[in-house]
Structure 1
Amino acid sequence: MIEERDSLIFDLDGTLWDASETVVRAFNDSIVEIGFDINLNALDIRNFSGMKMDDIFAQHFNFIPKEKLQNFEDIYSSREKKYLNESGGRLFPNVRETLEKLSKIHRLFIVSNCLSGYIESFLDFYDLNSYFEDFECFGNRGLPKDENIRLIVTRNDLQNPVYVGDTIWDIESSDKAGVDFIYASYGFGKIENAEYQIEKFEDLLKY
C-alpha cells in the first residue's frame, strides 16, 4: 500500500507520542489557578485526545463560567508550552528509528488538532525536525483537521498521501479530506474494521 505513496501525514497524540501525563498537569494547575478544585487524570486526556481544542473546552470544562473560559484557555496554553518544553511526553517505541527509515523514501508531515506551539514542542523535545517537511494544527487558523490535511496536501503538492492516526476523528477527517487512512491500533482510540492498521509504529515499514 505505502509503496505507491509519495508521503505520510501523521497525527501526533496517540500516534507518535503520549504526552497525557504532562498535559493533565497543565490542565489541573490551570483549573486550580482560576479557583476550582477539580482534577482530571491522564485517562481523561487520552479519551478526548484528537478533538478540536475549542470542543474540548466546551464539552469537558463546562463547569467553568463563560466569563472565565478565555482566561482559563490563556492560562492553560501558557502552562502547556512550559510543561511540554520541560517534560515532553513519551515517544512510542521505535518511532525515531522508523521515521528515519521512512524519511529516506517518503515525505513526512504532521497534522494535529492541538494548540499552536504543541507540534514544535514535540519536534524540539526529541530533535525530530529534520524528518518532517511541514506541519499544521487547529491552533494556527482554527481549521478542522480535514481542512488542515487538505492544506498540507495543497501546500506541498502531495500526489498520493496517506494519513496515520488513532481515533475516530482521525479517520473521519481523512475521509473528508479524500486521503486514505492507516489506523494506529496501539493509540488512544478505537476504530472498528479499519481497512489498514498497524499494531506498532514500525509496522509501517511492512507496507
Structure 2
Amino acid sequence: MKANSRIIVFDLDGTLIDTLNDIHESLMITLDNFGYPKFDISTTKSYVGDGIKKLIERAVGKKNYNKEIEQFFREIYNKKIIETSKKYKQIDYVLLTLKETTPHLFIISNKSYKFTDIIVRHFNLDKYFKEWFGGDSFIEKKPSPIPLLELFKKYNINPNKNSFMIGDNYTDIESGFYAGLSTIYCSYGYGRLAKITPDYIVNSPLEILNVIIKGVE
C-alpha cells in the first residue's frame, strides 16, 4: 500500500494540545455561578472526552443538567479557550514529519467544531492538517466509527490497518477499532481506556513517530 493512501487522524485535547486548565477554570466559574460545589482539576480530567454536554452532566449530575448551564459554560470557555492551553512538546516536529509521509492528516475532536477551529488556527495546526472536525460535524461522535467512516468515504480511501486513529481516550480507540484502523493510545493525555485494547500505547508525542514511521519504511 502506498504511503499516501494512508489516513492519520488525531484527537485534539490531551493529544495535540493540553487544554485541561482552561476547561477546568471555565467549568469552575460555571459551577460557582449556578451554586454547585466545585472540585479539583483531577476530577475535571476524569470528566472530559465526550463533549461539552457530557462534561456538564457529570459536573452537576445528569438530573440537574439543563441547556442554560451548558450555554453559560460555552460562553465562558469561548473567552478562556486559549488562555493557558499549550501544545505538547515536540508536536510540531511530529506533525511535520508525518506530513512528509502522507497528505491525509486530520483532526476529529468531540468538542464542537467552533472551539476546535479556534484552537487549531490559534496554534497554527492548520498548516499540517487537511481538515479538522468537531463533535457536531457528523451525526454521531466518537466512540462511534461514523466520523472516521465518513472521512474515509469523502476521500475515497478504504479504512485499513495502515491508517491510524490517535488519541488519549477510549472514545478515540473504540472509534478507530470499529472503523478498522490501527489505534494509538496517548497515555500522556487525560483520558482513559475502556473495553477495547489499543494496538499501540505511547508515553510521549515523539513515540508516535516510532509507531507510524516504522510502518512506512
Class of the TM-score when normalised by the shorter of the 2 chains: 0.7 to 0.9
Partner in structure 2 of residue 18 of structure 1: 18
Please say which of residues 3-12 and 99-108 is displaced more in the overlay.
3-12
TM-score (norm 1): 0.85
Once the two structures are overlaid, the 10-residue window that deviates more, 138-147 or 92-101, is 138-147
Name the counterpart of 2:32: 32
Q: Which amino acid aligns with 1:173?
A: S
Q: 2:189: which partner in 1?
A: 187
Q: Alignment partner of 1:109: what SS?
A: strand
CA-CA distance at 1:190 after TM superposition: 4.2
Report if aligned partners of 1:134, 1:152 keep a CA contact under 8 Å in 2. Answer: no
Partner secondary structure for residue 101 of structure 1 = helix
8 Å CA contact retained: 2:135, 2:141: yes
CA RMSD of the aligned region, Å? 2.6
Instruction: Give the gaps of 5 or more residues in structure 2.
Output: none
1:204 is the counterpart of 2:204: no
Counterpart check, 1:108 vs 2:105: yes
After TM superposition, the structure 1 stretch with the greater mean CA deviation from structure 2, 40-49 or 94-103, is 40-49
Say yes or no: does 1:153 pair with 2:149.
Answer: no
Corresponding position of 1:173: 175
> Residues 39 and 76 from structure 1, CA distance in 2 versus in 1: closer, same or farther, beyond 3 angstroms?
same
Specify the SS of the correspondent of 1:113. coil
Using a 3 Å threshold, how does the CA distance of structure 1 residues 28 and 41 change in structure 2: closer, same or farther? Answer: same
Equivalent residues of 1:162, 1:182 under 8 A apart: yes
Taking the aligned partners of 1:40 and 1:126, their CA distance within structure 2 comes to 29
Distance 1:187 1:142, change over 3 A: same
Give the counterpart letter for 1:92 in structure 2.
Y
Alignment partner, residue 120 of structure 1: 117
**How many correspondences in the alignment?**
203
CA contact under 8 A between 1:164 and 1:182: conserved in structure 2?
yes
The one-letter amino acid paired with 2:146 is E
One-letter identity of the residue aligned with 1:198:
V
**CA–CA separation in structure 1 for the residues paired with 2:3 and 2:202:** 15
Partner of 2:54: 55
Aligned residue for 2:78? Answer: 81
Deviation at 1:201, TM superposition (A): 0.7
| Distance in 2, Cα, partners of 1:32 & 1:140 | 31
**Structure 1 unmatched runs, 5+:** none
TM-superposed CA distance for 1:141, in Å, is 4.5
Structure 2 CA distance, aligned partners of 1:53 and 1:95?
25
The percent identity for this pair of structures is 19
1:44 equivalent in structure 2: 43
8 Å Cα contact 2:15-2:186 kept in structure 1: yes
In 2: Cα distance, 1:148 partner to 1:138 partner: 9
**How far did 1:144 drift?**
1.8
Q: 1:75 to 1:139 in 2, by over 3 A?
A: farther
Q: Which has the higher contact order (CA 8 A, sep 6+)?
A: 1
Q: Check if 1:91 corresponds to 2:90.
A: no
C-alpha distance after superposition, 1:20-72 (max 9, x if no partner): 11111111112223x31421332222212222433333333217735xx1111
Equivalents in 1 of 2:106, 2:187: separation in Å?
A: 20
After TM superposition, give the deviation of residue 171 of structure 1 in Å.
1.3
Q: Is the 8 A contact 1:98 1:201 kept in 2?
A: yes
- Paired with 1:41 and 1:72, the residues of 2 have a C-alpha distance of 19
Question: Partners of 2:95 and 2:22 in 1: how far apart?
Answer: 23
